[in-house]
């Protein structure tokens, strides 16, 4: 499996070659159709690499916006939440990609120390880290730690993971002080399980594109015994509304049967773009989530989520849902 799949128009091959070389120099494994082997089926090879790559980098240009291949590959990447778009030439992007933040590499000459290229690396690091993390300064590479990823996704989850690891270290210290060696042996495996935060997932189950007002299915998984709420960030208005629980201000208390469930939800009427659905989870004993069922903007919502994190062991994940007529 490669770290990065590049979706592009062959018209732009010389520039894409330069980008692929730069990404590989920073420690990533990169696949694009220039790597096809003799005798390989074009469609089978592309599908295999597209399905298994950790990150899909789409190159938008005058040629690629009219390519059905590029649009289809980008749509699949969007559904998998692994799309990182790049602007090579100034073009108007097809729906729903126009509303997605796109890295601007117009007139980029291959310089890996260019701040715009460094920003692209940060976006890719939201999905996969290079085998040998490097920073580039004045054309020279040197080993360096990866920067913390910001936003409610990467940086937020990274800080939560660090929080759970801190709890694990504290718990081990308490047991070591309070108990004898035999007591430690009995509980050390359970305590080490705290070194990673619980797993929560949210995914879209769809056989095709979703039209406004149609029902689609989301599948969530979260540890039993915790508390869950589901939120929608509307593409057009940027307003955020609670979808689960359907009524009231409470949360769903998960048990063995409800810890993994498909949920049918109607797509926002009149929508024409990419809605986001956000899953919040807190462990047993911490049922409180957010104080309102609706927020006027995603910024207001993210602020409330950050506040929740400061007073609980909250976890968050999200999925993008493309909705267009």
H-assigned helices in 222-286: none
Phi/psi of residue 246, nearest 5 degrees: -70, -35
Mark 232-271 as b/e (b = at least 16 C-beta within 10 Å).
bbbbeeebbebbbbeeeeebbebeeeebeeeeebebbeeb
CA–CA gap between residue 123 and residue 117 (Å, rounded): 10
Show pLDDT as tens, one digit a residue, over the chain (325 residues). 789 999 998 889 999 999 999 999 999 999 877 655 555 555 666 787 788 889 999 999 999 998 888 888 888 888 888 999 999 999 988 878 887 889 999 999 999 999 999 999 999 998 888 765 444 443 333 333 333 334 333 444 444 444 444 444 444 444 444 444 444 444 444 444 444 556 889 888 876 678 888 888 999 998 888 999 999 988 778 899 999 998 877 899 998 888 888 888 888 776 667 788 999 999 888 888 999 999 999 889 988 988 888 888 888 888 888 887 7
CA–CA gap between residue 173 and residue 73 (Å, rounded): 50
Q: Do 9 and 63 contact (CB within 8 A), yes or no? A: yes
DSSP H or E segment with residue 84: strand 83-87
CA–CA gap between residue 293 and residue 247 (Å, rounded): 9
Res 207: pLDDT? 60
Q: Quickly tell me which residue has 């990533």 as its tokens.
A: 28
Nearest to 280 by CA among 230, 324, 245: 230
Q: Give CA torsion, residues 101, 104, 110, 116, to 10 deg.
A: -80
- Alpha carbon 81 to its chain centroid, in Å, reads 5
Q: How far is CA 15 from CA 6, 62, 247, in A?
A: 12, 13, 53
Handedness of CA 33, 38, 43, 49 (dihedral sign): negative
Q: Give CA torsion, residues 64, 267, 50, 59, to 10 deg.
A: 30
- Alpha carbon 85 to its chain centroid, in Å, reads 14
Q: Do 5 and 55 contact (CB within 8 A), yes or no? A: yes
Q: Quickly tell me which residue has 């929560």 as its tokens.
A: 200
DSSP H or E segment with residue 305: helix 298-311
Angle value at C-alpha 309, between 304 and 314, nearest 5 degrees: 110
- What is the model's pTM? 0.47
What is the 3-class SS of 274-304, one letter each residue?
A: EEEEEEEEECCCCCCCCCCCEECCHHHHHHH
Mark 1-33 as b/e (b = at least 16 C-beta within 10 Å).
ebbbbbbbbeebeebbeebbebbeebbbebbbb
CA–CA gap between residue 116 and residue 103 (Å, rounded): 7
Angle value at C-alpha 296, between 221 and 153, nearest 5 degrees: 40
């Amino acid at each position: 499996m490669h770290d990065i799949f590049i979706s592009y128009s062959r018209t732009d091959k010389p520039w894409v070659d330069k980008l692929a070389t730069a990404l590989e120099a920073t420690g990533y494994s990169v696949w694009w159709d220039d790597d096809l082997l003799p005798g390989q089926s074009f469609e089978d090879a592309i599908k295999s690499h597209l399905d298994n790559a950790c990150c899909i980098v789409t190159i938008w240009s005058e040629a690629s916006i009219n390519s059905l291949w590029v649009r289809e590959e980008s749509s699949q990447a969007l559904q998998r939440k692994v799309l990182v778009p790049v602007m090579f030439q100034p073009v108007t992007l097809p729906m729903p990609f126009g509303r997605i933040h796109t890295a601007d590499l117009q007139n980029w000459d291959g310089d890996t120390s260019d701040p715009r290229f460094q920003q692209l690396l940060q976006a890719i690091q939201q999905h996969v880290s290079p085998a040998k993390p490097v920073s580039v300064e004045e054309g020279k590479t040197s080993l360096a730690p990866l920067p913390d990823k910001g936003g409610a996704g990467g940086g937020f989850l990274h800080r939560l993971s660090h929080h759970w690891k801190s709890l694990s270290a504290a718990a081990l210290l308490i047991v070591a002080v309070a108990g004898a060696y035999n007591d430690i042996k009995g509980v050390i495996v359970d305590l080490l399980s705290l070194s990673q935060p619980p797993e929560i997932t949210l995914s879209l189950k769809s056989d095709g594109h979703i039209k406004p007002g149609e029902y689609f299915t989301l599948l969530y998984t979260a540890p039993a015994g915790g508390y869950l709420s589901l939120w929608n960030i509307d593409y057009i208005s940027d307003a955020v509304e609670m979808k689960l629980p359907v009524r009231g201000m409470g949360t769903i208390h998960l048990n063995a049967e409800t810890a993994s469930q498909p949920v049918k939800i109607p797509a926002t009427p009149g929508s024409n773009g990419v809605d986001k659905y956000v899953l919040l989870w807190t462990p047993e004993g911490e049922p409180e989530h957010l104080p309102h069922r609706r927020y006027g903007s995603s910024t207001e919502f993210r602020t409330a989520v950050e506040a929740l994190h400061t007073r609980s062991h909250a976890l968050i994940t999200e999925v993008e849902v493309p909705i267009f007529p």
